[in-house]
Structure 1
């Protein structure tokens, strides 16, 4: 019985997919409650045996209970998971919890910030800790200090579940509300004011891609669509003679990589894709990637007037296909770069941790 309950506990507390997730009305909840009751019975049984052995003057070695710290930690962990499940299910309409995703890293990050905020005193007293927390509340609850041991990013450990994504006074909410009300003029003014505002943090600075890379990619796009169209007028709009752009700075990378097989896009196609790239980089410089990011980019493109590529008969269809192809391709490489950066960050953190242990 003991080993089966321990096996069930480990399985419940390390669920990684939906079939093993923790639901409010699942049998796993009953097993956790039963395990808490089992800990109480186990502790009472061992204490009674030790008391009886002491009265009889003999040493009791048949059974021992967990250490005090282990028992308290186990009870707190299970009770915290059950309380969190009840709160998320009742208050935030969550359907399940992947228990393997539960982590105390945000709390440890905050305590690390509090320790490092005291300078060389990395072990503050309770009074110093409370003073530091009070100072952080004035500094900002949502931004970490610049000299702490946590990354300079959004600190959501001190924010509630409803406040972590921002409140109704945020700029994004204001824009969404103006657009929903149909007040496009006010929305445009608000958007322009946000774009012209001086950024407070590096993450708010709009990124720009190198024109030489855009020109190189534009040649790739031209090659893709030359094979899909039979209209000579559309083909002439896509390509340019490489002898006419020898002194063009944007064509330097293409000329360097050209061994005779690269295509040179026309100036019109280059400007068209450059505009799309600026909208793409501007969008993801202002907000993080999420499951509806492609809809944000498409909405941004539709809200800005765009020139059409191709002849009068095929311009609308060719432009739509080109926008879809470019955004899909660009998003693919953008996600790939984010994954690569995330993996490099993990490797760096792993080696840093190993260096501290040696």
Structure 2
């Protein structure tokens, strides 16, 4: 307070008890720490770029699912695609759209993905077209990605699968409809979008049933009722 110009009174409530004076703080300019010198010299130099500056820009969400499935899964998807096409043909009335979902057995022999279907086919199986199989592969990729996500609490929805499948396929005419794509139903959806949504919906329904069955079997694996049912007890196993 004395340094700020306050004069001590001779009498009153704050009368000074003695003649002690406060000493002003003096900065010793002769001795400077080594750290201060290093910091001042470093501040004068040019700032070096940080090696961690661009890490957030380089690291993105990455999916470790394969872009193309192995031979076993691919053959199974082709086989299931034939079943999906059989269901889809019952709901389609457009002949051009119906023809775009199937192909000849002779053209499918060259593709290794049709090997299982060729072995199982005795003349009554439906041979799916290449575009149909491509849509089913994309839908399977989306379903596996959603099933493997630990942050997901709700089951995957049809509109979400259709959106991602359309995004993965892009503007490619997978069903080889040509000018028939321009024809719309009620002026809203094109036949291309209608076919894609129909194939994805039928495949998703089939896969959800399979996922539910596998989950139930896993949960009931330790159930005594499942092990000692009436059939097992009757046969005496």
Cα deviations by residue, 1:143-168 (Å, 9 ceiling, x for unpaired): xxxxxxxxxxxxxxxxxxxxxxxxxx
Corresponding position: 1:293 with 2:155 = yes
| One of 336, 339, 345 as aligned partner of 2:213 | 336
The answer as to 2:195 corresponding to 1:195 is no
Indicate if the aligned counterparts of 1:206 and 1:281 stay in contact, CA closer than 8 A.
Answer: no
Higher relative contact order at CA 8 Å, sep ≥6: structure 1 or structure 2? 2
Match of 2:163 among 274, 297, 302: 302
1:323 is aligned, of 200, 204, 214, to 200
- Counterparts in 2 of 1:303 and 1:231: CA distance versus 1, 3 Å: closer
Match of 1:268 in 2: 131
TM-score norm. by structure 2 comes to 0.54
Larger Rg: 1 or 2?
2
CA distance in 2, matches of 1:259, 1:286: 40
Q: Deviations over 1:116-166 (max 9, x none)?
A: xxxxxxxxxxxxxxxxxxxxxxxxxxxxxxxxxxxxxxxxxxxxxxxxxxx
Unaligned runs of 5+ in 2: 1-57, 184-190, 229-237
TM score, norm. by length of structure 1: 0.37
Query: Structure 2 residue aligned with 1:245, among 108, 115, 119?
Result: 108
Q: In the aligned structure 2, how far is the partner of 1:222 from the partner of 1:303?
A: 21
RMSD (Å) for aligned C-alpha atoms = 3.3
Contact 1:219/1:264 (8 A) holds in 2: yes
Correspondence for 1:220: 83
Deviation at 1:288, TM superposition (A): 7.7
1:279–1:301 CA contact under 8 A, matched in 2: no
2: CA distance, partners of 1:243 / 1:252: 12
Residue 289 of structure 1, CA deviation: 7.6
Contact 1:206 1:285 in 2 (8 A): no
Q: Rate the CA distance shift 1:289–1:331 in 2: closer, same or farther, 3 A.
A: farther
CA distance in 2, matches of 1:234, 1:300: 21
1:96 paired residue number: none
Equivalent position of 1:231 in the other structure: 94
The answer to whether the 8 Å contact 1:206/1:286 transfers is no
Matched ranges for 1:139-150 at <5 A: none
**How many residues get paired?**
152
Change (3 A) 1:319 1:329: same
- Deviation (angstroms), 1:298: 3.9
Ranges in structure 1 where 5+ consecutive residues have no aligned partner = 1-188, 197-204, 352-358
